[in-house]
Amino acid sequence: MPKLKLFSLAIALTLALVFIFGCGKKSVVSDLIPPTVQITSPADASILSGDTIFVNVTASDNQGVARVDFYVDGETLFTDFSSPFIFPWLILVYNDSTVHTLSAVAVDGAGNADTFAISVTVRVAPGVYFISSTTTAATSYYNLFVWGNYAAVAQQGNGIQIFDISNPANPQFLSSYNTGGGSANGVFVSGNYLFIAYGAVGLHVLDVSNPAVPIYRSSLDLPGSADVENVFVSGNYAYLAAKNSGMYIVDLSNLDTLVALSQYNLGSGNAFDVKVIDTLAYIAYGGEGLEIVNVKNPLIPAFVGRYTPAGSALARRLDVVGNRAYLALQNAGLDIVSLAIPSAPVQLGNYNTTNSFFTGVQVDGNNAYLANRDDGVQIVDVSIPATPSSITFFNTEGQANNLIFRNSFIYVADQSSLTLLRYVP
């Protein structure tokens, strides 16, 4: 066969194959059409009040809407993946008369997006409000510590748990630590380290530079029958309040080798709590009341003064602000004590209620925030120490064992949960 015919046949076969296989391929058409989205309620420039506002959105797309992301002031708070697109927005976490930008972003399967934004004003009336409650398989949320965006909760018999509280309306469990076999009674965070008052086990130290992955660093077993109830860290020292054993001072200068420097145990009561300010340690000493100790020389802590409450009161927790101490008393209310003369502390006033069983206290400004065990949280005006008066209360669902007040939020170790409240004066 002539070469020209062979060449023509080859071209023909090639064209035929291109036609056959080309017709079998489907053309790919890119989705370049974005969805449309609109916030139908609330309306722009609305003034909102109450607790939860339901933000309603309509969204459509030629290929279907994959999701709608909801933003408040540029922060993603919620995502809905199916119509109707609704965001339950808890507004009680915001300050009164503040303006916020509320945005909805609709996204389709190809990643195309459309945004709709409005501006609203939030009004929050005075009062105490429930914000959220979170729990895991906890046995007893007994004590807690709050730092930055995190809360660590001590569980009696079950170690500690760490939560992300950056969104108070939806705290997230991050991690736990439960090695040592003791009862986690107290917790304190200083820098990147978390210190656990671990009951009969003593003291444990964790590296929490990444709170989602706490790492054991070291521990210290105490002699005898010491039952460590709480821990306070100041500088290079940890101060341990121990039942039946008073206060221990631990050298933290080398976290790999903890050293107990001294023990203070002049009182006959149980040491439940300790705070250190400058060179003085203040101990909630159970039936002994308040003990003041000079710890300038940590090797030789020295007695300074003592305040004993009336009757059979038991000092469980304390706070020290300025020249006053506030003692949370089991069955005897709140004692306010003058520290103007540390060697001779005297009572300035007492606040008490029927069935009071105060297990936690924190003072901020003119207010004392009290954990009242079975009766939840009480807020007391202590601006006039001689006549403290009730402001309001909130009965939590669990047993309020202790609390911390930060930036208008009250974090409660509520026996079976970490409960968050909001106080608006």
Give the predicted TM-score (pTM) of the model: 0.88
As a whole number, mean pLDDT of residues 265-271 equals 78
φ, ψ for residue 313, nearest 5 deg = -60, 145
Is 17 a residue whose pLDDT tops 60? Answer: no
Is the pLDDT assigned to residue 259 strictly greater than 90? yes
Does 14 have pLDDT greater than 70? Answer: no
Q: Is pLDDT of 3 > 50?
A: no
For residue 56, count CB atoms less than 10 angstroms from its CB and return exposed for 0-12, middle for 13-18, buried for 19 or more. middle
pLDDT value of position 10: 43
Q: Looking at the predicted structure, is the pLDDT value of residue 76 above 80? A: yes
Q: Which residues pair with 29 in a beta bridge?
A: none
Task: Tell me if 11 is assigned to some domain.
Answer: no
- Judge if 167 and 256 occupy the same domain: yes
291 and 209 both lie in a single domain:
yes
From 76, 107, 122, the end of a domain falls on 122
Last residue of a domain, one of 93, 122, 151: 122
- Specify if 95 maps to a domain: yes
Bridge partners of 128? Answer: 423
Confidence of residue 139 (pLDDT cuts 50, 70, 90): low
Q: How much is the pLDDT for 311?
A: 82
Answer yes or no: is 202 within a domain.
yes
Q: Is residue 365 part of a domain?
A: yes
The predicted model gives 214-237 an average pLDDT of: 93
Structural domains of the chain, count: 2
Q: How confident is the model at residue 138 (pLDDT cuts 50, 70, 90)?
A: low
- Choose between 202 and 10: higher pLDDT: 202
Mean pLDDT of the chain: 91
Residues 100 and 131 in one domain: no
Q: Is 9 part of any domain?
A: no
Per DSSP, what are the bridge partners of residue 98? 122
Per residue in 195-224, pLDDT tens?
999 988 899 999 999 999 999 999 999 887
Tokens at residue 407, please? Answer: 């930036």
279 shares a domain with 148:
yes
Same domain, 109 and 141: no
**179 plus 54 within the same structural domain:** no
pLDDT at 269: 66
- Are 258 and 271 within one domain? yes
**CA-to-CA separations, 75 to 40, 79, 80, 345, 407, in angstroms, rounded:** 20, 12, 15, 49, 20
Q: Same domain for 86 and 141?
A: no
Q: 98, 122, 146 — which closes off a domain?
A: 122
Looking at the fold, whether 309 and 364 belong to one and the same domain comes out as: yes
244 shares a domain with 108: no
Domain at 283, CATH number: 2.130.10.10
Domain that holds residue 110: 36-122
The total number of residues written for the chain in this structure: 425
Q: Is residue 140 part of a domain?
A: yes
> What secondary structure, in 3-state letters, does the chain show?
CCHHHHHHHHHHHHHHHHHHHHHHCCCCCCCCCCCEEEEEECCCCCEECCCEEEEEEEEECCCCEEEEEEEECCEEEEEECCCCEEEEEECCCCCCCEEEEEEEEEEECCCCEEEEEEEEEECCCCEEEEEEEECCCCCCEEEEEEECCEEEEEECCCEEEEEECCCCCCCEEEEEECCCCCCCCEEEEECCEEEEECECCCEEEEECCCCCCCEEEEEECCCCCCEEEEEEEECCEEEEEEECCEEEEEECCCCCCCEEEEEECCCCCCCCEEEEECCEEEEECECCCEEEEECCCCCCCEEEEEECCCCCCEEEEEEEECCEEEEEEECCEEEEEECCCCCCCEEEEEECCCCCECCEEEEECCEEEEECECCCEEEEECCCCCCCEEEEEECCCCCECEEEEECCEEEEECECCEEEEEEEC
149 pLDDT band, cuts 50/70/90, is very high
Within this chain, do residues 199 and 60 fall inside the same structural domain, yes or no?
A: no
Instruction: Say which CATH number the domain at 51 has.
Output: 2.60.40.10
- Res. 268: pLDDT tops 70: no
For the chain, the straight-line distance linking the first and the last C-alpha, in angstroms and rounded, comes to 103
Q: 110 with 147, same domain?
A: no
**25 within a domain of the structure (yes/no):** no
Rounded average pLDDT over 356-383: 95
pLDDT digits (tens, 9 = 90+) for 40-55: 999 999 999 999 999 9
